[in-house]
């Protein structure tokens, strides 16, 4: 069995980003006096969605990547998918950090995330169909 080194590093980087985004939500909630929801505050809502979007996308990608890596998938493809996903998620978080961030950062974040997940799923199916 191959140890999932690339998946492990990817998960660690995503976990760090997740904690940072979680902390920004917590700090914003405390400063706004809001314990549940966004209290009608658009800036807080943006922070909540930035955090939530990562929470929604990271698990499925990391599961696909880990299975692909453990099953002996092509290492350079795995590294490329992992790099794309991590860069896309940092770009997306940056894009949603304020009102004056470049739209291209959000587009890269969204498209890179989509491409990483769909690519991982497709390559995993292709790889597993060749190993049976």
pLDDT tens track of the chain, all 132 residues? 668 999 999 999 999 999 999 999 999 888 888 888 877 888 888 899 999 999 999 999 999 999 999 999 999 999 999 999 999 999 999 998 877 888 899 999 999 999 999 999 999 999 999 865
pLDDT at 130: 84
DSSP-derived 3-state class of residue 117: helix
Range of the domain at 10: 5-131
| Angstrom distance (rounded) from CA 79 to CA 74 | 9
CATH number of the domain that residue 68 is part of = 1.20.120.550
pLDDT at 42: 83
Among residues 58, 36, 35, 54, which one has the least CA distance to residue 96? 54
Contacts of 44 (CB under 8 A, 6+ apart): 25, 28, 29, 32, 34, 38
How many helices (H) and strands (E) would you count in the chain? 4, 0
| Angstrom distance (rounded) from CA 39 to CA 91 | 27
Among residues 38, 92, 33, 31, which one has the least CA distance to residue 61? 92
N-to-C CA span, the chain: 16
Torsion of CA 63, 66, 70, 76, to 10 degrees: 140
Task: Count how many domains the chain has.
Answer: 1
pLDDT at 24: 93
Among residues 46, 58, 22, 48, which one has the least CA distance to residue 96? 46
pLDDT at 84: 98
Handedness of CA 86, 92, 97, 103 (dihedral sign): positive
pLDDT at 122: 97
pLDDT at 2: 66
């Amino acid at each position: 069995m191959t140890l999932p080194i690339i998946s492990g590093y990817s998960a660690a980087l995503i976990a760090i980003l997740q904690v940072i985004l979680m902390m920004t939500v917590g700090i914003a909630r405390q400063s706004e006096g809001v314990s549940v929801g966004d209290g009608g505050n658009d800036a807080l809502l943006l922070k909540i969605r930035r955090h939530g979007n990562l929470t929604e996308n990271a698990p499925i990608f990391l599961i696909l990547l880990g299975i692909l890596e453990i099953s002996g998938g092509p290492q350079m493809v795995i590294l490329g998918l992992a790099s794309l996903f991590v860069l896309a998620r940092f770009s997306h978080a940056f894009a949603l950090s304020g009102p004056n961030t470049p739209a291209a950062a959000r587009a890269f974040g969204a498209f890179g995330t989509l491409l990483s997940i769909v690519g991982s799923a497709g390559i995993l199916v292709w790889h597993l169909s060749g190993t049976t």
